[in-house]
């Protein structure tokens, strides 16, 4: 299933999630540094990083919702996508709670703020795995229209002009990636 939102032939949502996921990871690392050192700068930095992660996470969610609405109803991908999306809404809510608990205390995280952040990151690991399941196993976001070789190790790359890339193996002898393991 091709993604509804693409840029230069690639799905936008998987590109967008990298920023909030990285920022939430960074915030937890900064919180751990704060707990170890007691330096308020780490706590303040974590607060700002969480705020940026929330904004970028909302932007990523828009593109994820666009893709989810294109998945046919009643399919396993639709159900996994629902779990993935709902879990990520909860991730954003947990980090929002963590952020709100910080702003009223000069960015110093309370135990509740830390728990929300750590739980949010743990849940993001689960929802990230579900996102991988959608792409790797269920084919969501695979661009069948650009290359009939999608999923093949020797398929056409979007970095090369299609006319300059010739398949190295006859089509009938190619095997999907999962059969090469």
Q: What average pLDDT score do residues 31-56 get?
A: 97
Cβ partners under 8 Å of residue 40, min gap 6: 34, 106, 107, 108
Confidence of residue 144 (pLDDT cuts 50, 70, 90): low
pLDDT score for 29: 98
Residue 105's nearest CA partner among 44, 35, 36, 37 is 44
Mean pLDDT of the chain: 83
C-alpha atoms less than 13 angstroms from C-alpha of 58 in its C-beta half-sphere: 8
pLDDT score for 154: 53
pLDDT at residue 62 greater than cutoff 90: yes
Tokens 């750590």 label which residue? 118
pLDDT at residue 175 greater than cutoff 50: no
Cβ partners under 8 Å of residue 20, min gap 6: 53, 54, 56, 57, 60
Model pLDDT for residues 80-129, shown as the tens digit of each residue:
999 999 999 999 999 999 999 999 899 999 999 999 999 999 999 999 99
Residue spans per domain, the chain: 6-137, 147-181
Of the ranges 20-34, 115-129, 133-147, which one carries the lowest mean pLDDT score? Answer: 133-147
CA 117, 123, 125, 130 torsion: positive or negative?
negative
CA 87, 93, 94, 96 torsion: positive or negative?
positive
Q: State percent of the chain over pLDDT 90.
A: 60
Contact 107, 51 (CB under 8 A): no
**71 Ramachandran zone, left/alpha/beta (phi>0; psi -120 to 50):** beta
C-alpha atoms less than 13 angstroms from C-alpha of 98 in its C-beta half-sphere: 31
């Amino acid at each position: 299933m091709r993604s509804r939102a693409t840029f230069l032939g690639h799905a936008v949502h998987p590109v967008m999630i990298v920023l909030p996921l990285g920022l939430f990871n960074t915030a937890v690392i900064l919180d751990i540094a704060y707990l170890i050192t007691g330096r308020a700068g780490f706590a303040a930095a974590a607060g700002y990083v969480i705020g940026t992660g929330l904004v970028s996470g909302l932007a990523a969610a828009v593109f994820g919702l666009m893709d989810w609405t294109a998945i046919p109803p009643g399919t396993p991908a639709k159900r996994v996508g629902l779990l993935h999306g709902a879990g990520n809404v909860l991730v954003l809510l947990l980090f929002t709670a963590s952020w709100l608990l910080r702003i009223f205390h000069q960015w110093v995280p309370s135990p509740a703020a830390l728990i929300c952040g750590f739980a949010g990151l743990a849940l993001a690991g689960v929802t990230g795995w579900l996102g991988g399941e959608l792409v790797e196993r269920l084919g969501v976001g695979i661009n069948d229209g650009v290359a009939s070789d999608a999923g093949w190790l020797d398929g056409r790359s979007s970095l090369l002009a299609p006319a300059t890339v010739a398949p190295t193996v006859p089509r009938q002898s190619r095997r999907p990636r999962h059969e090469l393991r």
